[in-house]
Amino acid sequence: MDLATLMNLPFGYVLPFLVAITIIVFVHEYGHFQVARWCGVKVEAFSIGFGREVFGWVDRHGTRWKFCWLPLGGYVRFEGDANAASMPGQEQDQSQRGPGDFHSKPIWQRAAVVAAGPFANFLLAIFIFTAAYSIVGVPYSEPRVDEVMPDSAAQAAGLQAGDFIRKVDGKDTKSFAEVQEMVWQQAGVPLAVVVERAGSKIELTLTPRIQELPDGFGGTLKVGLLGVRHNPGTDEPLYERYSVPEALAKGLERTWYIIATTGRYVSKLFTGAESIDQIGGPIAMAKGAGDTASSGGLAFISFVALLSVSIGLINLFPVPMLDGGHLVFYAVEALRGKPLGPNAQEWGYRIGFSFVVMLMLIGIWNDVARTISVVLGS
């Protein structure tokens, strides 16, 4: 990437990113909003973005809908909230709170309102995947090996160009992408592989080797690779369309796969098995949005689904300020029979805010470092 390419970021990267993040934030906040309305909570404001308002309007229920100048998030403010993080106001006691006050509602209703945001993100991803699988279909290439890399796990196991990989670890494989997904999380694990060669079935044992690959967000991921290549340009385009029930099942499966993969990465991050250098910020996300948008509509909406699941999952982390932190507070309240004191909650939010800011700064620092590295290396 040279300087001229970087100058085109507002059109090539930033615009797709803003479209993606606006959709995801709106769906997330609408989840909070709708369940709050069902629970009789008065919603004072629904904001896309932070900071000064650019434009907005008031609906018939008295909710201020607005777009703000920093479109990197959003919030829903309920009656009784002291701020956008939904801290309870301290100027009123319980007897002074109105019927639409969020903090006067039963714990289960408050928990439902809070959990509805991440849940809406998961539903968005499931809807996108289901629609894509049923309308367009899943593009795939046959699991054919076109090239075996020298000094690779595949070469060591005796895999040859022209082989078709029919099974990995006892599971049938229909596409080359399925083979990749099966071995990515199995670095260093011996796998039983069945290949078809000249009409005959041959059983081999391969052990994927660890390698770092770009993650699409400007960082890298450590994955297991066999060391084979497939040339999709030699194939006719293949799409497998599914009925709506089948597409829904696959959409659920795909969403869970993203959740599980992200969860494994985060657990490795906290145990030191993964480096914080792989954390990306807004520049990395913008690059991912731009790259997928340039690849076509299907790739872009798949990116939106991926990002939606990731944001929903991150919001469930037990960190004050995030939705997961609120759920922890409600769990403590249910066990104690009363909420935590104002000072404990305030310190919790301060710690949570510091943690979120730290992650954002790490992501931005990594983004800037990668950008400088790319420019200097061009």
CB-CB contact of 92 with 80 (8 Å): yes
Query: b/e for 248-280, b at 16 or more Cβ within 10 A?
Result: bebbeebbeebbebbeebeeeeeeeebeeebbb
As annotated, the active-site residues are 29
User: What are the residues facing 204 on neighbouring strands?
Assistant: 193
Q: What residues contact residue 106 under an 8 Å CB cut-off, 6+ apart?
A: none
CB-CB contact of 190 with 209 (8 Å): no
One digit per residue, the tens of pLDDT, for the chain of length 378 reads 444 444 444 556 778 888 899 999 999 999 999 999 999 999 999 999 888 999 999 999 999 999 998 888 889 999 887 666 666 665 545 556 778 888 889 999 999 999 999 999 999 999 999 999 999 888 778 888 888 888 888 888 888 888 899 998 888 888 888 888 888 877 788 888 899 998 889 998 888 888 776 655 555 667 788 888 888 666 666 788 899 999 999 999 999 988 888 777 777 767 766 666 666 666 667 677 777 777 777 888 988 998 999 899 988 988 888 899 889 989 998 998 888 777 777 777 777 777 777 777 766 666 666 555 544 454
CA dist 167 and 91 (Å) reads: 65
What does pTM read for this prediction? 0.72
pLDDT score for 261: 82
Q: What architecture (CATH level 2) is domain 139-240? A: Roll (2.30)
What H or E segment, with its residue span, contains residue 344? helix 342-377
Residue ranges of the domains in the chain?
A: 3-137+293-377, 139-240
pLDDT score for 73: 85
CB-CB contact of 323 with 117 (8 Å): yes
Phi, psi of 166 (to 5 degrees): -95, -25
CA dist 58 and 157 (Å) reads: 67
